[in-house]
C-alpha cells in the first residue's frame, strides 16, 4: 500500500498558513504562493533590519547637524572636535542630548569650540 505524507503534510501546511495570516488573496490561502511569499518576506525582513540601522544613523546625524548649526559649528567640525577633546559619545546619545538637554549640549559645543580654537 502506498504511504502518503498525511498528518505531517497537514501540520507543515498549517505552520505555513499560520505565518501567512493576514496576507491578501492567494498569498494567504494557496500553499505554493504562501511559500513564495514567506520566502520573499523573510528576505525583506532580513534586509530591512540592516536598513533600519542606516536610517536611524542618518536621522541622528541630521538632528545633531541642526542643533550644532545653532551654535555656529558644522557637523564635521563638531565630530572632529569631540574626537580631539576625547569625548566618546555616540550619535544616538548626542541626538537625544540635543533634543532633551539643550544646556548640556551647549556646554559640549563650547568645549568643542575651545578645543578647535586651541589647535
Report pLDDT digits (tens) over 17-59. 999 999 999 999 999 999 999 999 999 999 999 999 999 999 9
pLDDT of the residue at 41: 96
DSSP the chain: -PPP-THHHHHHHHHHHHHTTT--THHHH-HHHHHHHHHHHHHHHHHHHHHHHHHHHHHHHHHHHHHHHTTT--HHHHHHHHHHHT----HHHHHHHHHH-HHHHHHHHHHHHHHHHH-
pLDDT of the residue at 2: 81
pLDDT of the residue at 1: 78
Q: Which domains does the chain have, with CATH numbers?
A: 8-118 (1.10.1900.20)
48 against 5, higher pLDDT: 48
pLDDT at 5 over 90: no
Could you tell me the pTM of the whole model? 0.79
Amino acid at each position: 500500500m502506498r504511504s502518503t505524507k498525511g498528518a505531517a503534510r497537514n501540520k507543515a501546511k498549517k505552520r505555513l498558513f499560520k505565518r501567512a495570516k493576514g496576507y491578501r488573496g492567494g498569498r494567504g490561502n494557496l500553499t505554493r504562493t504562501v511559500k513564495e511569499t514567506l520566502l520573499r518576506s523573510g528576505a525583506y525582513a532580513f534586509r530591512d533590519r540592516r536598513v533600519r540601522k542606516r536610517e536611524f544613523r542618518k536621522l541622528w546625524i541630521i538632528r545633531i547637524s541642526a542643533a550644532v548649526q545653532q551654535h555656529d559649528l558644522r557637523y564635521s567640525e563638531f565630530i572632529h572636535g569631540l574626537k580631539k577633546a576625547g569625548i566618546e559619545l555616540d550619535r544616538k546619545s548626542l541626538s537625544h542630548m540635543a533634543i532633551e538637554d539643550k544646556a548640556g549640549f551647549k556646554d559640549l559645543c563650547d568645549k568643542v569650540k575651545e578645543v578647535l580654537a586651541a589647535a
